[in-house]
Chain A
Amino acid sequence: MAVPFTVEFSGGLEILFGGERVMKLSLASPRDDDNLTIADLVKHLCDEKMTDSRRDMFVIEGYNVRPGILVLINDADWELEGEADFRAVG
């Protein structure tokens, strides 16, 4: 089941995504279960939505969000909730 998201980029990160500050998208778990994680969303953004070729400005060593980039989920720091393992509840 696809989960709708609104993604906001700021602080210069939007430059990597064609200058778009707000992006609405909808995504289902790639594993055929209901456990869509933020890691899935990051991978999707990186593979499908990033317009800049400098991937390492966004992710390093695979799909790990570059240290120093602040990620907020529902306005809360993702470091509260196990970062990329954070399960998406839409």
Chain B
Amino acid sequence: MPSLPLQSLCELCSAQKPSLRRPKTGQKICQQCFFHVFETEIHNTITAASLFHPGERVAIGASGGKDSTVLAHVMKTLNERYSYGVDFVLLSIDEGIRGYRDDSLETVKRNQQQYSLPLKIVSYKDLYDGWSMDNIVAQIGSKNNCTYCGVFRRQALDRGAQMLGINHVLTGHNADDMAETVLMNILRGDTARLDRCTEIITQSAESPIKRSKPLKFAYEKEIVLYAHYKKLDYFSTECTYSPEAFRGTARTLIKNLETVRSSAIIDIIHSGETFALQRRGGKNQAKKLVAGVCERCGYISSNKLCKACVLLDGLNAGRAAVQISLEKPGDQDDGAALVRKQLEHLSF
């Protein structure tokens, strides 16, 4: 059997065999050097943006997926290595999606043990009149349910943080996610969102809680490899209700661009940042949103009712209609069977 030509050594330490080619630089490096540069770059992102202050309590949005698991691991590591003095808490949302969230929450519970961090779980059911995502999908079908999940999840993270007395939440968005979002906002002409989507810290009039993205410059490939080589415990199944077709298309486009221009991801993020700067000039005249609160639930809202309460009204109106139709004798079994069938079809 012909053997492989022995490859050159790690380009950083010249001692070990390389394990990966960095998408950012093309450098071929070994595992130990990779851990070091990956963690150090995130530390640099954090210090450049003065993300934390000593004694701050910060929640890490933890889904059990690769991004948030790597985020939790790296935050704990850096907090100890560089003495940030931050008090981290894991914050998880239980959307109520059987076969997806119940399994991934088990992963988060193991992470809590592994990283010895406190964990808080808030559920849609408790926050939103008993509506879980499974119930919502059973009612509205499989289209547009990401709209509900998006609005509900944002508020749920905020409310979870508020319950903990915390006003800073970290999310696991990576460079690939951010480049996709920039491209999607450009393609949709959504300049208002384009303005904010590349910022590392976002604090909007719609949310009382500060969000930040320490993995903003971390490539997905490196996040996956970091989790793999560190043998981190994460849950790798996609959400069963996320047929985000547009994002998928943007992702494919970027991946194809990358094969001919390896810096595509960073370039797109940079473009997004630059567009945002140009917009700021004329923004001062733009009307300032008056931050009021939702009449019903007290969440920050510029309208009478916040987005979640508007969506809930729609759902509750629909539920009333369904309940009436089910009261006809004999229909009850059919209704239940239909719901079950819909869910089976969706969970592949």
Contacts and interface: CB of A to CB of B under 8 A. Distances in A.
Interface of A: 1, 3, 10-12, 15, 34-35, 66-68, 70, 72, 75-77, 79-81, 87, 89-90
B73 interface: no
B4 interface: yes
Contact of B20 (A3, A10, A67, A76): A76
Interface residues of B, number: 26
B3 A89 contact: yes
B277 interface: no
Interface in B236-263: 236-238, 251-252, 255-256, 258-259
19 contacts: A12-B237, A12-B238, A15-B348, A67-B256, A67-B259, A68-B255, A70-B224, A75-B19, A77-B20, A77-B225, A79-B21, A80-B7, A80-B18, A80-B20, A80-B21, A80-B28, A81-B7, A89-B1, A90-B1
Contact of A76 (B19, B236, B252): B19
B2 A87 contact: yes
Contacts of B259: 67
A77 B21 contact: yes
B280 interface: no
Interface string B263-286: 000000000000000000000000
Given A11-B224, A67-B258, A34 B18 contact: no
Contacts, number: 52
Which 7 pairs from chain A and chain B are nearest by CB? Answer: A67-B255, A77-B20, A79-B21, A68-B255, A11-B236, A76-B19, A80-B21
Contacts of B3: 89
A15 B238 CA distance: 11
B340 interface: no
Contacts of A1: 1
Interface in B205-254: 221, 224-225, 228, 236-238, 251-252
B66 to A, nearest CB: 8
A55 B147 CA distance: 29
Given A3-B1, A70-B221, A80-B7, 8 more contacts: A34-B2, A35-B2, A67-B255, A70-B224, A76-B17, A76-B19, A79-B20, A87-B4
A70 B238 contact: no
Given A11-B224, A76-B20, A81 B4 contact: yes
Contacts of B348: 15
Nearest to B21: A79
Contacts of B224: 11, 70
A76 B18 contact: yes
